[in-house]
Chains A and B, each alone.
Chain A
Amino acid sequence: MTINSEKIDNILDNIESEIGGENRGDLIFRGENGSEFDFEITDDFETVNIYHDSILLNEVVYDGDDLRFAEDIIDAIYDFLED
Protein backbone atom coordinates (compact mmCIF):
# COMPACT_ATOMS: atom_id res chain seq x y z
CA MET A 1 0.00 0.00 0.00
CA THR A 2 1.97 2.98 -1.18
CA ILE A 3 1.23 6.63 -1.74
CA ASN A 4 2.12 8.42 -4.91
CA SER A 5 2.09 12.12 -5.60
CA GLU A 6 -0.89 11.80 -7.96
CA LYS A 7 -3.05 10.47 -5.12
CA ILE A 8 -2.18 13.46 -2.94
CA ASP A 9 -2.62 15.85 -5.86
CA ASN A 10 -6.17 14.50 -6.34
CA ILE A 11 -6.94 14.98 -2.66
CA LEU A 12 -5.65 18.55 -2.82
CA ASP A 13 -7.81 19.18 -5.91
CA ASN A 14 -10.82 17.96 -3.96
CA ILE A 15 -9.97 20.14 -0.97
CA GLU A 16 -9.68 23.08 -3.37
CA SER A 17 -13.10 22.47 -4.87
CA GLU A 18 -14.91 21.49 -1.66
CA ILE A 19 -13.32 23.72 0.97
CA GLY A 20 -11.47 26.42 -0.95
CA GLY A 21 -7.81 27.39 -1.13
CA GLU A 22 -5.52 26.57 -4.03
CA ASN A 23 -3.66 23.46 -5.12
CA ARG A 24 -0.48 25.03 -6.44
CA GLY A 25 0.99 21.79 -7.79
CA ASP A 26 4.26 20.16 -6.65
CA LEU A 27 2.34 19.01 -3.54
CA ILE A 28 1.95 22.55 -2.26
CA PHE A 29 -1.42 23.84 -1.12
CA ARG A 30 -2.23 27.38 -0.13
CA GLY A 31 -5.17 28.07 2.15
CA GLU A 32 -7.46 31.05 1.62
CA ASN A 33 -5.91 32.61 4.71
CA GLY A 34 -2.49 32.53 3.00
CA SER A 35 -0.93 29.72 5.02
CA GLU A 36 0.98 27.20 2.97
CA PHE A 37 1.07 23.42 3.30
CA ASP A 38 3.77 21.30 1.77
CA PHE A 39 3.30 17.53 1.51
CA GLU A 40 6.32 15.23 1.61
CA ILE A 41 6.06 11.54 0.83
CA THR A 42 8.46 9.54 3.01
CA ASP A 43 11.05 7.22 1.49
CA ASP A 44 8.95 4.11 2.22
CA PHE A 45 5.96 5.68 0.40
CA GLU A 46 3.67 4.88 3.34
CA THR A 47 3.44 8.20 5.13
CA VAL A 48 2.91 11.78 4.08
CA ASN A 49 4.47 14.50 6.19
CA ILE A 50 2.51 17.73 6.25
CA TYR A 51 4.46 20.92 6.76
CA HIS A 52 2.56 24.05 7.68
CA ASP A 53 4.50 27.20 6.86
CA SER A 54 7.66 25.05 6.71
CA ILE A 55 7.29 23.35 10.12
CA LEU A 56 6.30 19.69 10.34
CA LEU A 57 2.94 19.53 12.07
CA ASN A 58 1.43 16.22 11.03
CA GLU A 59 2.19 12.81 9.66
CA VAL A 60 -0.58 10.83 7.97
CA VAL A 61 -0.10 7.10 7.41
CA TYR A 62 -1.69 5.39 4.41
CA ASP A 63 -3.14 1.94 5.05
CA GLY A 64 -4.81 1.40 1.69
CA ASP A 65 -8.09 3.10 2.53
CA ASP A 66 -8.20 6.03 0.11
CA LEU A 67 -11.22 7.67 1.68
CA ARG A 68 -9.84 7.57 5.20
CA PHE A 69 -6.48 8.83 3.95
CA ALA A 70 -8.17 11.84 2.34
CA GLU A 71 -10.20 12.48 5.51
CA ASP A 72 -7.08 12.27 7.67
CA ILE A 73 -5.32 14.82 5.47
CA ILE A 74 -8.32 17.17 5.60
CA ASP A 75 -8.53 16.77 9.39
CA ALA A 76 -4.82 17.53 9.71
CA ILE A 77 -5.03 20.84 7.90
CA TYR A 78 -8.62 21.95 8.52
CA ASP A 79 -8.03 24.03 11.66
CA PHE A 80 -5.26 25.93 9.93
CA LEU A 81 -7.42 26.69 6.90
CA GLU A 82 -10.08 28.25 9.10
CA ASP A 83 -8.17 30.94 10.93
Chain B
Amino acid sequence: MSTRYHINPETGRANICRAQVRSCPVGGTDGNEAPHFDTKEEARAYVEKQQREIHGDYSTVKKTTRSKPVRASDKKNTVYLDGDTMHDDEARQRLVFRQYALKRLEEGVSSGAHVYEDEMSPEMAAKKMEKSLDFASSRGNTILMRRLSNAVMMPSGVVKSDKGRYDANEAVQLDVEAKHLADQRKRVEKGIKDIVAKENPPVGTYAAEVNGTKASVSVRQDINKKALAELEKRNPALYQKISKEGNPKYTKDSLLAAGFTEDELEQLKTPSAKYDLLVAEVPDTGQQQIVADTNLGDGSVEQRLERGAKNLASLVDTSYQVTGRTTKERSAELTKQKNVAKAAVAAVDTEHENESFFPARKHGNGGLVSWSHTASYTRGPVEDTFKDDARLKKALITERSVDRTKAEKELSAAQFNALYSNKAVTIRVTEPSADKK
Protein backbone atom coordinates (compact mmCIF):
# COMPACT_ATOMS: atom_id res chain seq x y z
CA MET B 1 0.00 0.00 0.00
CA SER B 2 1.44 3.39 -0.93
CA THR B 3 2.01 6.13 1.66
CA ARG B 4 -0.91 8.53 2.21
CA TYR B 5 -1.15 11.61 4.38
CA HIS B 6 -3.99 12.97 6.46
CA ILE B 7 -4.40 16.07 8.60
CA ASN B 8 -4.35 15.63 12.35
CA PRO B 9 -7.39 17.69 13.41
CA GLU B 10 -5.82 18.44 16.84
CA THR B 11 -2.55 19.86 15.58
CA GLY B 12 -3.22 20.74 11.96
CA ARG B 13 -0.14 18.74 10.99
CA ALA B 14 0.19 16.56 7.92
CA ASN B 15 1.03 13.05 9.11
CA ILE B 16 1.48 9.67 7.46
CA CYS B 17 -1.78 7.69 7.58
CA ARG B 18 -0.97 4.24 8.93
CA ALA B 19 -4.51 2.87 8.68
CA GLN B 20 -4.41 -0.23 6.53
CA VAL B 21 -6.97 -2.71 7.80
CA ARG B 22 -9.56 -0.50 9.48
CA SER B 23 -10.73 2.89 8.37
CA CYS B 24 -8.58 5.91 9.22
CA PRO B 25 -9.13 7.05 12.85
CA VAL B 26 -8.96 10.70 11.82
CA GLY B 27 -12.47 10.32 10.43
CA GLY B 28 -14.33 13.02 8.59
CA THR B 29 -17.60 14.87 8.41
CA ASP B 30 -21.00 13.50 7.53
CA GLY B 31 -19.75 9.94 7.57
CA ASN B 32 -17.22 10.60 4.82
CA GLU B 33 -13.54 9.83 5.22
CA ALA B 34 -11.33 12.84 6.01
CA PRO B 35 -9.31 13.99 2.99
CA HIS B 36 -6.12 12.07 2.28
CA PHE B 37 -3.22 13.11 0.08
CA ASP B 38 -0.48 11.41 -1.87
CA THR B 39 2.25 13.77 -0.69
CA LYS B 40 2.93 15.75 2.44
CA GLU B 41 3.19 18.92 0.34
CA GLU B 42 -0.36 18.45 -0.96
CA ALA B 43 -1.58 17.90 2.59
CA ARG B 44 0.16 21.03 3.83
CA ALA B 45 -1.19 23.08 0.91
CA TYR B 46 -4.68 21.92 1.88
CA VAL B 47 -4.16 23.02 5.51
CA GLU B 48 -2.86 26.40 4.39
CA LYS B 49 -5.83 26.88 2.06
CA GLN B 50 -8.23 26.03 4.86
CA GLN B 51 -6.43 28.36 7.26
CA ARG B 52 -6.59 31.18 4.72
CA GLU B 53 -10.31 30.66 4.41
CA ILE B 54 -10.72 30.82 8.19
CA HIS B 55 -8.19 33.52 9.14
CA GLY B 56 -7.64 35.47 5.95
CA ASP B 57 -4.45 35.53 3.92
CA TYR B 58 -1.29 35.20 5.93
CA SER B 59 0.72 33.66 3.15
CA THR B 60 3.62 35.90 4.21
CA VAL B 61 4.56 33.08 6.59
CA LYS B 62 6.04 31.24 3.66
CA LYS B 63 7.86 34.23 2.25
CA THR B 64 11.39 33.78 3.43
CA THR B 65 13.34 35.64 0.80
CA ARG B 66 13.77 38.90 2.69
CA SER B 67 17.44 39.69 2.96
CA LYS B 68 17.25 43.09 4.62
CA PRO B 69 17.27 42.81 8.42
CA VAL B 70 14.12 44.18 10.05
CA ARG B 71 14.75 46.68 12.81
CA ALA B 72 12.20 47.77 15.40
CA SER B 73 12.43 51.30 14.03
CA ASP B 74 11.32 50.05 10.60
CA LYS B 75 7.88 49.15 11.92
CA LYS B 76 5.51 51.96 11.17
CA ASN B 77 2.20 50.44 12.11
CA THR B 78 0.75 49.68 15.49
CA VAL B 79 0.76 45.99 16.16
CA TYR B 80 -1.74 44.21 18.35
CA LEU B 81 -0.49 40.70 18.77
CA ASP B 82 -3.39 39.63 20.94
CA GLY B 83 -6.10 41.45 19.08
CA ASP B 84 -7.73 40.97 15.75
CA THR B 85 -6.11 43.93 14.07
CA MET B 86 -2.78 43.30 12.42
CA HIS B 87 -1.20 46.00 10.30
CA ASP B 88 2.17 44.52 9.82
CA ASP B 89 3.14 41.45 7.82
CA GLU B 90 5.82 40.51 10.28
CA ALA B 91 3.35 40.73 13.15
CA ARG B 92 0.99 38.41 11.35
CA GLN B 93 3.82 36.01 10.94
CA ARG B 94 4.59 36.24 14.64
CA LEU B 95 1.01 35.64 15.62
CA VAL B 96 0.87 32.49 13.55
CA PHE B 97 4.19 31.35 14.91
CA ARG B 98 3.04 31.99 18.43
CA GLN B 99 -0.22 30.14 18.08
CA TYR B 100 1.65 27.22 16.66
CA ALA B 101 4.25 27.29 19.41
CA LEU B 102 1.58 27.30 22.10
CA LYS B 103 -0.28 24.41 20.54
CA ARG B 104 2.90 22.40 20.48
CA LEU B 105 3.76 23.39 24.03
CA GLU B 106 0.65 21.52 25.14
CA GLU B 107 1.72 18.47 23.16
CA GLY B 108 5.20 18.53 24.65
CA VAL B 109 3.91 18.15 28.21
CA SER B 110 2.47 14.76 27.43
CA SER B 111 5.79 12.91 27.68
CA GLY B 112 5.81 10.85 30.87
CA ALA B 113 9.47 9.70 30.91
CA HIS B 114 10.80 13.24 31.13
CA VAL B 115 10.19 15.61 33.99
CA TYR B 116 10.25 19.31 33.19
CA GLU B 117 11.34 21.81 35.81
CA ASP B 118 9.88 25.32 35.92
CA GLU B 119 7.23 24.73 33.28
CA MET B 120 6.44 27.94 31.46
CA SER B 121 3.10 29.60 31.20
CA PRO B 122 1.82 29.93 27.61
CA GLU B 123 2.42 33.69 27.87
CA MET B 124 6.04 33.16 28.84
CA ALA B 125 6.49 30.60 26.06
CA ALA B 126 5.12 33.06 23.54
CA LYS B 127 7.40 35.80 24.83
CA LYS B 128 10.48 33.60 24.61
CA MET B 129 9.59 32.40 21.14
CA GLU B 130 9.10 35.96 19.98
CA LYS B 131 12.49 37.00 21.37
CA SER B 132 14.11 34.17 19.43
CA LEU B 133 12.26 35.21 16.30
CA ASP B 134 13.36 38.79 16.90
CA PHE B 135 16.94 37.59 16.92
CA ALA B 136 16.54 35.56 13.73
CA SER B 137 14.72 38.46 12.08
CA SER B 138 17.33 41.04 13.15
CA ARG B 139 19.95 38.93 11.43
CA GLY B 140 17.84 38.53 8.31
CA ASN B 141 18.21 34.80 8.96
CA THR B 142 15.20 33.46 7.10
CA ILE B 143 16.31 29.87 7.46
CA LEU B 144 16.32 30.17 11.24
CA MET B 145 12.97 31.98 11.13
CA ARG B 146 11.52 29.12 9.14
CA ARG B 147 12.96 26.57 11.53
CA LEU B 148 11.57 28.42 14.53
CA SER B 149 8.23 28.74 12.79
CA ASN B 150 7.93 24.96 12.79
CA ALA B 151 9.34 24.57 16.27
CA VAL B 152 7.65 22.76 19.09
CA MET B 153 8.06 24.88 22.20
CA MET B 154 9.12 22.44 24.90
CA PRO B 155 7.45 22.92 28.30
CA SER B 156 10.63 24.41 29.77
CA GLY B 157 14.35 24.61 29.14
CA VAL B 158 15.15 22.16 31.93
CA VAL B 159 14.27 18.49 31.66
CA LYS B 160 15.29 15.46 33.69
CA SER B 161 15.28 11.80 32.77
CA ASP B 162 17.08 8.70 34.05
CA LYS B 163 19.88 9.62 31.59
CA GLY B 164 20.58 12.93 33.33
CA ARG B 165 19.47 16.53 33.29
CA TYR B 166 19.40 18.95 30.38
CA ASP B 167 19.49 22.63 31.18
CA ALA B 168 19.36 24.85 28.09
CA ASN B 169 21.04 27.65 29.99
CA GLU B 170 23.96 25.46 31.08
CA ALA B 171 24.18 23.90 27.60
CA VAL B 172 24.49 27.34 26.03
CA GLN B 173 27.25 28.21 28.50
CA LEU B 174 29.15 24.99 27.83
CA ASP B 175 28.81 25.24 24.08
CA VAL B 176 29.95 28.86 23.98
CA GLU B 177 32.99 27.90 26.08
CA ALA B 178 33.79 24.95 23.81
CA LYS B 179 33.37 26.89 20.57
CA HIS B 180 35.42 29.83 21.80
CA LEU B 181 38.31 27.58 22.82
CA ALA B 182 38.12 25.65 19.52
CA ASP B 183 38.19 28.92 17.53
CA GLN B 184 41.20 30.22 19.45
CA ARG B 185 42.98 26.87 19.17
CA LYS B 186 42.46 26.84 15.41
CA ARG B 187 44.17 30.22 15.13
CA VAL B 188 47.35 28.84 16.71
CA GLU B 189 47.10 25.59 14.76
CA LYS B 190 46.74 27.49 11.49
CA GLY B 191 50.09 29.20 12.14
CA ILE B 192 51.71 25.82 12.81
CA LYS B 193 50.17 24.18 9.73
CA ASP B 194 51.27 27.09 7.53
CA ILE B 195 54.88 26.60 8.65
CA VAL B 196 54.71 22.87 7.90
CA ALA B 197 53.13 23.46 4.48
CA LYS B 198 55.48 26.22 3.37
CA GLU B 199 58.81 25.63 5.08
CA ASN B 200 59.32 21.86 4.95
CA PRO B 201 60.52 21.47 8.56
CA PRO B 202 62.54 18.40 9.57
CA VAL B 203 60.63 15.34 10.75
CA GLY B 204 60.37 15.37 14.54
CA THR B 205 58.28 16.26 17.57
CA TYR B 206 58.23 19.73 19.07
CA ALA B 207 56.69 19.86 22.53
CA ALA B 208 55.95 22.17 25.45
CA GLU B 209 54.24 22.02 28.84
CA VAL B 210 52.42 24.68 30.85
CA ASN B 211 51.13 23.85 34.36
CA GLY B 212 50.84 20.16 33.46
CA THR B 213 49.07 20.76 30.13
CA LYS B 214 51.21 19.28 27.38
CA ALA B 215 51.13 20.10 23.69
CA SER B 216 53.13 18.53 20.88
CA VAL B 217 53.57 19.17 17.20
CA SER B 218 54.73 16.07 15.30
CA VAL B 219 55.96 16.45 11.77
CA ARG B 220 56.05 13.26 9.70
CA GLN B 221 56.56 12.20 6.10
CA ASP B 222 53.38 11.99 4.09
CA ILE B 223 52.44 10.63 0.68
CA ASN B 224 52.84 12.94 -2.26
CA LYS B 225 49.63 12.27 -4.18
CA LYS B 226 51.10 13.33 -7.54
CA ALA B 227 54.03 10.93 -7.12
CA LEU B 228 51.60 8.17 -6.14
CA ALA B 229 49.42 8.74 -9.20
CA GLU B 230 52.52 8.69 -11.39
CA LEU B 231 53.75 5.42 -9.84
CA GLU B 232 50.31 3.82 -10.22
CA LYS B 233 50.24 4.80 -13.90
CA ARG B 234 53.82 3.88 -14.84
CA ASN B 235 54.34 0.77 -12.76
CA PRO B 236 51.03 -0.85 -11.79
CA ALA B 237 52.75 -4.08 -10.72
CA LEU B 238 54.90 -2.21 -8.20
CA TYR B 239 51.84 -0.28 -7.00
CA GLN B 240 50.09 -3.61 -6.36
CA LYS B 241 53.09 -4.74 -4.30
CA ILE B 242 53.20 -1.69 -2.04
CA SER B 243 49.46 -1.28 -1.58
CA LYS B 244 46.74 -3.22 0.16
CA GLU B 245 43.09 -3.69 -0.60
CA GLY B 246 40.68 -1.85 1.69
CA ASN B 247 37.37 -3.15 3.00
CA PRO B 248 34.72 -3.81 0.37
CA LYS B 249 32.17 -1.01 0.57
CA TYR B 250 29.24 0.69 -1.11
CA THR B 251 29.10 4.33 -2.00
CA LYS B 252 26.18 6.30 -3.40
CA ASP B 253 27.97 6.45 -6.76
CA SER B 254 28.70 2.72 -6.84
CA LEU B 255 25.06 1.93 -6.05
CA LEU B 256 23.81 4.28 -8.76
CA ALA B 257 26.33 2.85 -11.24
CA ALA B 258 25.07 -0.65 -10.43
CA GLY B 259 21.56 0.37 -11.47
CA PHE B 260 19.89 1.49 -8.23
CA THR B 261 17.72 4.56 -8.65
CA GLU B 262 17.71 7.69 -6.46
CA ASP B 263 14.19 6.71 -5.36
CA GLU B 264 15.36 3.29 -4.23
CA LEU B 265 18.24 4.86 -2.29
CA GLU B 266 15.69 6.99 -0.40
CA GLN B 267 14.89 3.80 1.53
CA LEU B 268 18.34 4.02 3.13
CA LYS B 269 17.47 7.27 4.85
CA THR B 270 16.88 7.16 8.58
CA PRO B 271 16.03 10.00 10.92
CA SER B 272 18.49 11.12 13.54
CA ALA B 273 18.14 13.98 16.00
CA LYS B 274 20.50 16.91 15.58
CA TYR B 275 21.14 19.46 18.28
CA ASP B 276 21.90 23.11 17.51
CA LEU B 277 22.14 26.16 19.66
CA LEU B 278 20.44 29.48 19.27
CA VAL B 279 22.49 32.16 20.95
CA ALA B 280 21.04 35.64 20.62
CA GLU B 281 22.92 36.96 23.63
CA VAL B 282 26.38 35.46 24.07
CA PRO B 283 27.01 34.71 27.75
CA ASP B 284 30.28 35.84 29.26
CA THR B 285 32.34 32.70 29.77
CA GLY B 286 35.62 34.56 30.15
CA GLN B 287 36.24 34.94 26.41
CA GLN B 288 38.22 38.14 27.01
CA GLN B 289 40.77 36.21 29.03
CA ILE B 290 41.01 33.10 26.84
CA VAL B 291 42.84 34.54 23.87
CA ALA B 292 45.30 32.70 21.65
CA ASP B 293 48.84 33.97 21.31
CA THR B 294 49.43 33.52 17.58
CA ASN B 295 52.89 35.05 17.62
CA LEU B 296 55.32 32.21 16.88
CA GLY B 297 58.38 34.48 17.02
CA ASP B 298 61.04 34.84 14.33
CA GLY B 299 63.47 32.09 15.26
CA SER B 300 64.30 28.91 13.34
CA VAL B 301 61.52 26.65 12.04
CA GLU B 302 62.06 24.30 15.00
CA GLN B 303 61.91 27.16 17.50
CA ARG B 304 58.68 28.49 15.99
CA LEU B 305 57.04 25.05 16.08
CA GLU B 306 58.06 24.71 19.74
CA ARG B 307 56.62 28.15 20.38
CA GLY B 308 53.39 27.00 18.68
CA ALA B 309 53.20 24.02 21.04
CA LYS B 310 53.79 26.31 24.01
CA ASN B 311 51.09 28.76 22.90
CA LEU B 312 48.62 25.90 22.55
CA ALA B 313 49.40 24.44 25.98
CA SER B 314 49.14 27.90 27.51
CA LEU B 315 45.77 28.57 25.81
CA VAL B 316 44.22 25.31 27.00
CA ASP B 317 45.62 25.82 30.51
CA THR B 318 44.19 29.35 30.63
CA SER B 319 40.80 28.00 29.57
CA TYR B 320 40.88 25.62 32.53
CA GLN B 321 41.98 28.37 34.95
CA VAL B 322 39.14 30.65 33.79
CA THR B 323 36.28 28.17 33.37
CA GLY B 324 37.27 25.54 35.94
CA ARG B 325 36.64 22.77 33.40
CA THR B 326 39.00 20.66 31.32
CA THR B 327 38.09 20.09 27.68
CA LYS B 328 37.28 16.46 28.42
CA GLU B 329 34.92 17.34 31.28
CA ARG B 330 33.19 20.02 29.22
CA SER B 331 32.82 17.76 26.27
CA ALA B 332 31.44 14.84 28.32
CA GLU B 333 28.91 17.08 30.08
CA LEU B 334 27.77 18.67 26.84
CA THR B 335 27.33 15.29 25.17
CA LYS B 336 25.29 14.03 28.13
CA GLN B 337 23.07 17.10 28.06
CA LYS B 338 22.50 16.93 24.30
CA ASN B 339 21.52 13.27 24.56
CA VAL B 340 18.89 14.04 27.23
CA ALA B 341 17.47 16.84 25.06
CA LYS B 342 17.35 14.60 21.98
CA ALA B 343 15.66 11.79 23.92
CA ALA B 344 13.05 14.21 25.34
CA VAL B 345 12.22 15.34 21.81
CA ALA B 346 12.15 11.78 20.46
CA ALA B 347 9.60 10.91 23.16
CA VAL B 348 7.06 13.44 21.85
CA ASP B 349 7.97 13.71 18.18
CA THR B 350 7.80 10.08 17.14
CA GLU B 351 7.23 10.95 13.50
CA HIS B 352 10.52 12.86 13.39
CA GLU B 353 9.27 15.88 11.60
CA ASN B 354 9.50 19.02 13.74
CA GLU B 355 12.08 21.30 15.21
CA SER B 356 11.81 21.46 19.00
CA PHE B 357 12.95 24.45 21.00
CA PHE B 358 14.23 24.41 24.59
CA PRO B 359 14.38 28.03 25.76
CA ALA B 360 17.24 29.14 27.98
CA ARG B 361 16.79 31.65 30.79
CA LYS B 362 18.11 34.50 28.65
CA HIS B 363 15.41 35.37 26.15
CA GLY B 364 16.38 34.46 22.62
CA ASN B 365 18.84 31.73 23.65
CA GLY B 366 18.09 28.06 23.60
CA GLY B 367 18.64 24.61 22.16
CA LEU B 368 16.99 23.57 18.91
CA VAL B 369 16.59 19.86 18.18
CA SER B 370 15.77 18.93 14.62
CA TRP B 371 15.62 15.75 12.59
CA SER B 372 17.85 15.06 9.70
CA HIS B 373 17.07 12.20 7.37
CA THR B 374 20.37 10.92 6.10
CA ALA B 375 21.28 7.86 4.10
CA SER B 376 23.89 5.41 5.28
CA TYR B 377 25.71 3.48 2.58
CA THR B 378 27.51 1.20 5.03
CA ARG B 379 27.18 -2.51 4.33
CA GLY B 380 24.75 -3.45 7.10
CA PRO B 381 21.87 -1.09 6.20
CA VAL B 382 22.39 -1.49 2.43
CA GLU B 383 22.35 -5.30 2.55
CA ASP B 384 19.42 -5.38 4.99
CA THR B 385 17.39 -3.07 2.77
CA PHE B 386 18.15 -4.72 -0.59
CA LYS B 387 18.37 -8.36 0.52
CA ASP B 388 19.59 -10.74 -2.23
CA ASP B 389 19.42 -8.02 -4.89
CA ALA B 390 21.75 -9.10 -7.70
CA ARG B 391 22.90 -5.51 -8.28
CA LEU B 392 24.62 -5.45 -4.88
CA LYS B 393 27.50 -7.57 -6.13
CA LYS B 394 28.28 -5.04 -8.83
CA ALA B 395 27.95 -2.12 -6.40
CA LEU B 396 30.43 -3.51 -3.87
CA ILE B 397 33.78 -1.84 -4.52
CA THR B 398 37.23 -1.96 -2.94
CA GLU B 399 39.88 0.71 -2.96
CA ARG B 400 43.61 0.18 -2.59
CA SER B 401 45.84 2.30 -0.39
CA VAL B 402 49.59 2.37 0.17
CA ASP B 403 50.90 0.25 3.03
CA ARG B 404 53.87 2.09 4.45
CA THR B 405 55.59 -1.08 5.71
CA LYS B 406 55.33 -2.68 2.28
CA ALA B 407 56.53 0.53 0.62
CA GLU B 408 59.62 0.64 2.86
CA LYS B 409 60.40 -2.97 1.93
CA GLU B 410 59.74 -2.86 -1.80
CA LEU B 411 60.99 0.60 -2.78
CA SER B 412 64.54 1.92 -2.95
CA ALA B 413 65.34 4.74 -0.52
CA ALA B 414 65.15 7.26 -3.36
CA GLN B 415 61.79 5.92 -4.56
CA PHE B 416 60.43 5.87 -1.00
CA ASN B 417 61.55 9.44 -0.33
CA ALA B 418 60.01 10.59 -3.61
CA LEU B 419 56.71 8.91 -2.72
CA TYR B 420 56.75 10.29 0.84
CA SER B 421 58.05 13.74 -0.06
CA ASN B 422 55.20 15.67 1.60
CA LYS B 423 55.02 16.60 5.26
CA ALA B 424 52.03 16.12 7.52
CA VAL B 425 51.55 17.39 11.04
CA THR B 426 49.78 15.92 14.04
CA ILE B 427 48.98 18.30 16.87
CA ARG B 428 48.12 16.86 20.27
CA VAL B 429 47.13 18.50 23.54
CA THR B 430 46.91 16.56 26.79
CA GLU B 431 45.33 18.06 29.88
CA PRO B 432 45.87 16.56 33.32
CA SER B 433 42.61 15.46 34.95
CA ALA B 434 41.00 18.18 37.05
CA ASP B 435 42.01 16.58 40.37
CA LYS B 436 45.69 16.74 39.35
CA LYS B 437 45.52 20.38 38.34
Contact = CB atoms under 8 A, between A and B. Distances in A.
Contacts of A14: 247
Contacts of B272: 82
Nearest to A24: B401
A83 B338 CA distance: 9
A13 B431 contact: no
A52 B401 CA distance: 24
Interface stretch (B232-240, B345-353, B421-429): B421-429
Interface string A3-45: 0000000000110111110010110100000000010100000
B119 interface: no
A17 B185 contact: no
A54 B328 CA distance: 12
A55 B316 contact: yes
Interface string B388-407: 00000000000001101000
B134 interface: no
B335 A79 contact: yes
A62 interface: no
Interface residues of B, number: 34
B430 A56 contact: yes
Interface string B315-338: 010000000000110010001001
B378 A51 contact: no
Interface in B173-217: 182, 185, 189
Nearest to B275: A83
Contacts of B220: 26
A28 to B, nearest CB: 8
Interface in A35-71: 38, 40, 49, 51-58
B274 A55 contact: no
A56 B332 CA distance: 12
A54 B428 contact: yes
B376 A56 contact: no
Given A38-B426, A54-B429, A56-B430, A20 B327 contact: no
Contacts of A49: 428, 430
Given A26-B424, A82-B272, A83-B275, A16 B327 contact: no
Given A82-B272, A83-B275, A54 B427 contact: yes
Nearest to A25: B401
Given A17-B249, A20-B378, A26-B424, A54 B185 contact: yes
Nearest to B181: A55
A14 B249 CA distance: 11
B31 interface: no
B379 interface: yes
A57 B328 CA distance: 5
Interface residues of A, number: 26
Nearest to A51: B428
B246 A55 contact: no
A54 B377 CA distance: 28
A13 B247 contact: yes
A23 B246 CA distance: 10
Interface string B365-383: 0000000000011111000
A19 B378 contact: yes
A76 to B, nearest CB: 11
Nearest to A12: B247
Contact of B379 (A18, A25, A52, A54): A18
B249 A55 contact: no
A16 B249 contact: yes
B222 to A, nearest CB: 8
B428 A40 contact: yes
A25 B378 CA distance: 19
A18 B376 CA distance: 10
Nearest to A28: B426
B431 A56 contact: yes
A57 B331 contact: yes
27 contacts: A13-B246, A14-B247, A17-B247, A17-B249, A18-B380, A19-B378, A20-B378, A25-B401, A25-B402, A26-B220, A26-B222, A28-B426, A38-B428, A40-B428, A49-B430, A51-B428, A53-B182, A55-B185, A55-B428, A55-B431, A56-B428, A57-B327, A57-B328, A79-B335, A79-B339, A83-B275, A83-B335
Given A17-B378, A19-B378, 14 more contacts: A17-B247, A17-B379, A20-B378, A23-B246, A25-B402, A26-B404, A26-B424, A40-B428, A51-B428, A53-B182, A55-B316, A57-B327, A83-B335, A83-B338
